Amino acid sequence: MRNTYLAAVDIGGTKITVSIAHYEGVLIKLYQRVKLEGDNTSIPEQVDALIERACRRIGIHKKDISAVGISTCSPFKIKNGYKVIVSPNLCGGLAKERGVIPNDWTEIPLEEVLTGKYPRVKSGNDCVTSVVAERLFGAGKGEDNLVYVTWSTGIGTGIFVDGHLLKGKNENAGHGGHIYIAEDGPQCGCGNFGDLEALVSGSAIARDYGEGATTEDVFSAYRQGDTKAKKVIKKAAYNFARGMASINALMDTQLFIIGGSVFLNNRDILLPLVEQEFFKSFPALTSGVKFTPSALHTFLGDIAALSLVMPDEWIEKWEHDRPWENAPPAVVLEDNGNE
Ligand SMILES: [Zn+2]
């Protein structure tokens, strides 16, 4: 397995990154705006083309890729035995606000298209792949009961219980951003009113403060003692803690690993507020639970996708060498194929 190459793919609402790795580390990383035009195979075809270009640049052939690991926004549905993406962030036919996404797709047959082109393809929701990576290489090493949470423009979770990764019927287990918190709350991008994401995401913090402020503006105002910013951020942190208490009540977890830019940029403010509220919840269930920041943070995209397909033989070496920290910077590709 040392002479094999793996492709890692990270698909978000705005960009795709593709990396190629071998036993020694990451060899190349390409970055391109996600193509939302054309038919619903545009994204799988773009992924294939990016892998091929990355291979060419490092002097290997596409046939040398033994497996492709994909970390993507979701949800999924299972169709003909393959995982299909049904995300309103990519599929215009599912988006609530028509016209924002320039296509009418209702599903993206990612696995099916790529499985015809590569020997092994595995995909997972970005928070599910992140919990796998954090457990192998990050803040969750050796822990069998853990939850990874991203606190960013959205909220998502990936969950291990008793050492088992929770998947569910459509592999949508862990969509913790869409659990209900408040009656008559604001609307989430998913259509729910008053769910966790609608109340505490980075966008929700900016919306609640108003005045055209960005999320980071609200945190800056908090640091300068602004009363409204304090009120908005405390409310978000307390609601986040209530969401985590609900997840903990169901999962009986040991460790919450929190990532995402909103949390990681402001953990000095957020972590004490979250802990203060969380531990008010039923002590028999919450006592002893730990919160910790993601250990992989900015590297998470690559390593999360690779974690899905990494051979056992590589894991020990990667754990020791941490080669993702020395990965080459991403090469940004223009949409027209130039770079
Ligand atoms: Zn939602």
Q: How far is the CA of 185 from the centre of ligand 1 (A)?
A: 11
pLDDT at res. 98: 56
Domain encompassing residue 175: 139-293
Pairwise CA distance, residues 285 & 250, whole Å: 10
For residues 61 and 29, membership in a common domain is answered with yes
Q: How far is the CA of 190 from the centre of ligand 1 (A)?
A: 4
For residues 192 and 252, membership in a common domain is answered with yes
Pairwise CA distance, residues 150 & 176, whole Å: 10
pLDDT at res. 221: 98
Q: How far is the CA of 115 from the centre of ligand 1 (A)?
A: 30
Fill in the amino acid letter for 136. L
For residues 65 and 146, membership in a common domain is answered with no
pLDDT at res. 243: 98
For residues 215 and 322, membership in a common domain is answered with no
Residue 339 has pLDDT above 70, yes or no: no
Nearest residue to 174 via CA among 188, 194, 154: 154
Does residue 168 sit within a domain?
Answer: yes
Does residue 146 sit within a domain?
Answer: yes
pLDDT at res. 180: 97
Contacts of 130 (CB under 8 A, 6+ apart): 71, 148, 150, 158, 259, 294, 296, 300, 304
Pairwise CA distance, residues 174 & 157, whole Å: 5
SS3 55: helix
Does residue 337 sit within a domain?
Answer: no
Pairwise CA distance, residues 261 & 125, whole Å: 18
Element (H, E) at 66: strand 65-72
Residue 99 banded pLDDT, cuts 50, 70, 90: low
Q: How far is the CA of 97 from the centre of ligand 1 (A)?
A: 14
Across 271-283, average pLDDT? 98
Tens digits of residue pLDDT in 175-210: 999 999 999 999 998 889 999 999 999 999 999 999
Residue 248 has pLDDT above 70, yes or no: yes
Does residue 133 sit within a domain?
Answer: no
Pairwise CA distance, residues 62 & 328, whole Å: 20
Residue 96 banded pLDDT, cuts 50, 70, 90: low
Cβ distance 273 to 231 under 8 Å?
A: no
Cβ distance 83 to 91 under 8 Å?
A: no
As given in the structure block, the two tokens for residue 244 are 């985590």
For residues 286 and 187, membership in a common domain is answered with yes
Q: What's the predicted TM-score (pTM) here?
A: 0.93
Across 286-314, average pLDDT? 92
Q: What is the mean pLDDT of the chain?
A: 94
Residue 90 has pLDDT above 90, yes or no: yes
As given in the structure block, the two tokens for residue 160 are 């291990």
Residue 270 banded pLDDT, cuts 50, 70, 90: very high
Q: How far is the CA of 306 from the centre of ligand 1 (A)?
A: 28
Q: How far is the CA of 193 from the centre of ligand 1 (A)?
A: 7
Q: How far is the CA of 211 from the centre of ligand 1 (A)?
A: 24
For residues 168 and 95, membership in a common domain is answered with no
Pairwise CA distance, residues 234 & 128, whole Å: 28
For residues 144 and 242, membership in a common domain is answered with yes
Does residue 134 sit within a domain?
Answer: no
For residues 154 and 289, membership in a common domain is answered with yes
Does residue 338 sit within a domain?
Answer: no
Residue 297 banded pLDDT, cuts 50, 70, 90: confident
Beta strands at 155-161 and 164-165: parallel, antiparallel or unpaired: antiparallel
Tens digits of residue pLDDT in 250-263: 999 999 999 999 99
Tens digits of residue pLDDT in 109-165: 999 999 989 999 999 999 999 999 999 999 999 999 999 999 998 999 999 999 999
pLDDT at res. 3: 81
For residues 102 and 17, membership in a common domain is answered with yes
The CATH number assigned to the domain holding 227 equals: 3.30.420.40
Does residue 15 sit within a domain?
Answer: yes
Pairwise CA distance, residues 89 & 101, whole Å: 8
For residues 12 and 68, membership in a common domain is answered with yes
For residues 285 and 305, membership in a common domain is answered with no
Number of domains in the chain: 2
For residues 85 and 200, membership in a common domain is answered with no
